[in-house]
A and B are shown apart, each in its own frame.
Chain A
Amino acid sequence: QVQLQESGPGLVKPSQTLSLTCTIFGDSIISGGYYWSWIRQLPGKGLEWIGYVYYNGNTYYNPSLKSRVTISVDTSRKQFSLRLTSVTAADTAVYYCAREGLAYNWFDPWGQGILVTVSS
């Protein structure tokens, strides 16, 4: 059974960089069968897709965040990571990592989520 787990700081100061890591259990990241994605849920429930990384390092980012986002992959550690620069209070959210299908871009499974608060 595939499981994903997010890790990283829960508090980030404004203007700094948010960095999160997702560790994959029970699946091979190099199988090439999926994208590996980050999604966030803003207060009041709205879901926003941030972007994905493929096992070979190819990425696609939501244009709304593209200038501030980097998603990378470490196949040896079975991890992929999110960096979001120049954060503001508007970036306060629960951040999820998820496996994304290739043919149909659904998300399953999701990590349990990590609340990141941007505050001084």
Chain B
Amino acid sequence: DIQLTQSPSFLSASVGDRVTITCRASQAISNYLAWYQQQPGKAPKLLIYAASTLYSGVPSRFSGSGSGTEFTLTISSLQPDDFATYFCQQLNSNPLTFGGGTTVETK
């Protein structure tokens, strides 16, 4: 199975901050990576797929980059709705796997 390691696990930030989350894969997965946002008590929502393609309706302050084994999710200017947990997921091969999550909390 492909292991995904996210860092940091927790991140304290303020509204307006630029936030970057990293996801590292245990083997090369080209651009087969997605990012999700999960609010407490809610299901995850797809933000980005193919490493850098913004899903329909997702604000442009979210962006993704990377290829191979290292990927990043960037929020250019953190908004109140963005305090949440973020997960990466590899789309390269079955079984599909997820990273452990990064919780963005208020500083």
A joins B in a complex: yes
Residues of B within 8 A of A74 (CB): none
Residues of B within 8 A of A106 (CB): 34, 46, 49, 55, 89, 91
Number of A-B pairs, beta carbon distance below 8 Å = 55
- Which stretch from B13-21, B60-68, B69-77, B94-102 is at the chain A interface? B94-102
Determine whether the beta carbon of B91 is less than 8 Å from that of A45.
no
A101 to B36, CA, bound (A): 15
> Given A46-B100, A49-B97, A110 and B43 touching (CB < 8 A)?
yes
Selected from A47, A48, A60, the residue in CB contact (under 8 A) with B94 is A60
Determine whether the beta carbon of A108 is less than 8 Å from that of B55.
yes
Determine whether the beta carbon of B95 is less than 8 Å from that of A45.
no
The 7 closest A-B pairs by CB, nearest first: A110-B43, A47-B98, A108-B46, A62-B95, A49-B96, A105-B91, A106-B49
A-B contact pairs, 27 of them (CB 8 A): A45-B100, A46-B98, A46-B100, A47-B89, A47-B98, A49-B95, A49-B97, A60-B94, A62-B94, A62-B95, A64-B95, A96-B43, A101-B49, A104-B49, A104-B91, A105-B91, A105-B96, A106-B34, A106-B89, A107-B34, A107-B36, A107-B46, A108-B45, A110-B45, A112-B42, A112-B43, A113-B43
